Structure 1
């Protein structure tokens, strides 16, 4: 497959790109500035400056851009609209690295993890932005989108085990009652999702 990874210098983006390369996929890193890395194919552009020609011919585009401050939150909302307008009506899959806070905690899907009283106050602004991000991506009827939420505890220093569970839209835990996954295992699961048919679905991933 021909795969573009936007934000390929970030924690999740880099691991997703490297995992896809390991599996023999043709990977293009889309980054704001080139670093000294081993990517053979690089597009040096801001997400908002990408055009249809930049993304033409890819089987999948993975959006792994992160934004943690209120002045950059627009990249989660305006950014997803920009990418959707570039890709709608094509066969290219658009996959989004999402957040755990938007996972549902009731069967009616009226409450999300971030609505729990003990959800960290400092994460609520980002949670609200990612909620808007998910709603925005769902609104495009002619887009091959997939939204991939990690476990509540996403650990950059955790080991790569190759053991994980791909679930649906509801928050769940493993048999140890944990919602945990390492970045390395999240990246492996993410590439599994790229390779398979999870189109027009939000999925979640936790460590087994």
Structure 2
């Protein structure tokens, strides 16, 4: 299998990339500059910008599935890049995409029709990142692709601990955190197994 990866230099993206390499998959990753830690030689690197349609297409062309670990980074990169990914996937007849979202875009348990970030279920004062992730969700929701958005709650660095709790479209009750390691493991497995097709999935301990 050939996997296109966006956000490969990020915390989750790096680990998904490494898991794919270890399992013998081909990987093509879009990066903005040379990244020594991305095992160059084992990964086909595309140097470019996720906000440029031609660079997104060059990354996806000829691949079988797409993974995006792009974050918002106080910019509109995510909401610009996702429509380009959808368009490139349509052109290349690729169906499967898994992205990393935020627990803020899961459904509220207390207020029907609202995201968590729009209610007091979210403790974050700034909603910019959640709004960007919500835009990405809406783009994917309108597409015909087999998409899944993995939505971790508070995401500290850390190795895999196991015992991941998950729930479709909601954050499991009492969820407080999940490590980067377990988030990457869950997302990588979901990319291959497709258990939550056309859905968000909240994950935590």
TM range (shorter): 0.7 to 0.9
In structure 2, distance between residues paired with 1:88 and 1:107? 37
- Aligned match of 1:76: 78
Query: What CA deviation, in whole Å up to 9, does each residue of 1:110-153 have, x standing for no partner?
Result: 1222122363453312222222221122112x323221111x21
In structure 2, distance between residues paired with 1:195 and 1:166? 17
- Aligned match of 1:145: 147
For normalisation by structure 1, the TM-score amounts to 0.84
- 1:113–1:171 Cα contact (<8 Å) kept: no
- Aligned match of 2:204: 206
- 1:168–1:203 Cα contact (<8 Å) kept: yes
In structure 2, distance between residues paired with 1:205 and 1:53? 32
- 2:172–2:203 Cα contact (<8 Å) kept: no
Confirm whether residue 154 of structure 1 aligns to residue 152 of structure 2.
no
Which of the numbers 127, 131, 155 marks the counterpart of 2:130?
Answer: 127
Give unpaired runs (5+ residues) of structure 1: none
Which of the numbers 49, 58, 61 marks the counterpart of 1:56?
Answer: 61
Aligned in 2, Cα 1:98/1:34: closer, same or farther, shift over 3 Å?
same
Confirm whether residue 21 of structure 1 aligns to residue 21 of structure 2.
yes
For normalisation by structure 2, the TM-score amounts to 0.86
Aligned in 2, Cα 1:82/1:139: closer, same or farther, shift over 3 Å?
same
Confirm whether residue 66 of structure 1 aligns to residue 71 of structure 2.
yes
Which of the numbers 88, 91, 96 marks the counterpart of 1:93?
Answer: 96
Greater alpha carbon shift after TM alignment, 57-66 vs 21-30: 21-30
Query: What CA deviation, in whole Å up to 9, does each residue of 1:59-102 have, x standing for no partner?
Result: 21111122231xx12x2222111111111261341221111101
- Aligned match of 2:46: 43
In structure 1, distance between residues paired with 2:8 and 2:163? 23
Give unpaired runs (5+ residues) of structure 2: none
User: How many residues are treated as equivalent by the alignment?
Assistant: 198
Report the RMSD for the aligned CA atoms in angstroms.
Answer: 2.1
- Aligned match of 2:115: 112
Deviation of residue 19 (structure 1)?
Answer: 1.9
